[in-house]
Amino acid sequence: MAHAMIDNLRRSSDGPAAARAWFDFPSAISALSLLVLSLNPGGVRAAVTVPGAPGVQVIPADEVLKDHTVTAPDGTLLFTDWEGVTWRLITDPSDPEITNPSADGFYPADWNAVVSTLDALPDDFLWTTACVVYVLPYPRSGALSSSATDRAIYLSPGVQPLEDGPVLRSTVAHEYGHVVHYTLLPDGDVRWDVYRKLRGIEDESTFYANAAHAYRPHEIFAEDFRVLFGDPVAAGDGSVENPELDSPQYDADLIEFFESLPGLGATADVAEARVPQASWQVFPNPAPLGGQVVLQRTGGEAAVDGEGELGAILVDASGRRAGELQLAPDGAGRWSASLADVAGLRAGAYWLVLRNADGTARSVSLRVIR
């Protein structure tokens, strides 16, 4: 895959720590705005949960603009990120920081393609990491490239349309690779030595954090993740950014190393219940801690005998059981339950796994908030 395409949507793991933030202060934007899963009355699309990952949220550009930016008295548009760092957004394509301006301005990423790309990643990685993906409407001053931290991905807009295709999908999969290494292989983990040896990047005078982009171990890891676990469009021809490194596609030991990172992965409860078409919905979603939830069939499956005895368990985003819900049917295809019945339940992302009397299982994602 030609990496000249990065000119349109440049990517980097350097992120907020290395770039110039406008200033720091605790975010005034409520974190609850990240958890809204439906269209709000103003017509702006709110955060969307990735179907196969209750812990992964995508915030479309219009929602970022609406709920995660403010306009300073001098007219500067400011964006506050997940870590509470506030950035000046570049709204003028003729700004000196933009070296390849377009008269038409900036093009945010297609959020539908972002969700699709993430949902195509292996379940074990999706279930053992959690992050918020911000589809930025404008680039950040001092951080024009897309970037990632352990809990967030920031997708910068392009100066050309960022529609579904290799540029967007490869970037999304690459940045999620950074989330994986921050979460499952943090710096200082002894397994980095194993990875560097497997990849042939042990020479610390060549491969180090501040080297040229393609020679940074974090970037090599993210590229390997993209090629090994991204969908065919994201993976491309299997080549990676560093021209001196072979594709990881045919390295069995390297593949085994990556596959070992999620650890326990999901429980059998979730794996069995994962189906292509969701047949249930739960509301409200997100649901308040200790509040009531209602389950309703969305169609596509006939009711089964004894369905009034439907059972339900909550499984967290890493695949561990959090507790059991007591469902009460209302006789009209709905079941209600109280989250207060689950001892020790905490706010977070969960699978609500339903099991019919005939033993079949289905699942729906649920966010629980304080």
Q: What is the mean pLDDT of residues 59-77?
A: 95
351, 365 contact by CB (below 8 A): yes
Is the alpha carbon torsion for 183, 186, 189, 195 positive or negative? positive
Tokens of 336: 């209600």
pLDDT at 275 over 60: no
pLDDT > 70: what percent of the chain? 78
In the numeric block, the tokens 């995508």 are attached to 58
pLDDT at 307 over 70: no
Tens of pLDDT along 25-46? Answer: 233 223 333 333 333 333 445 6
Tokens of 18: 């290395």
The pLDDT score that the predictor gives to residue 28 is: 29
In the numeric block, the tokens 């918020």 are attached to 132
- Of 43-47, 227-231, 239-243, which range is least confident? 43-47
- Of 14-23, 85-94, 126-135, which range is least confident? 14-23
- Of 53-57, 176-180, 220-224, 247-251, which range is least confident? 53-57
What strand order describes the sheet that includes 131-135?
48-50, 53-59, 131-135, 152-155, 147-148
Tens of pLDDT along 111-125? Answer: 999 999 999 998 788
Rounded CA separation 263/257 (Å): 11
Rounded CA separation 155/317 (Å): 23
The amino acid at 10: R
Length of the chain: 370
Tens of pLDDT along 244-262? Answer: 999 999 999 999 999 999 8
Whole-model pTM: value is 0.71
Tokens of 165: 């295709």
295, 335 contact by CB (below 8 A): yes
pLDDT greater at residue 168 or residue 298: 168
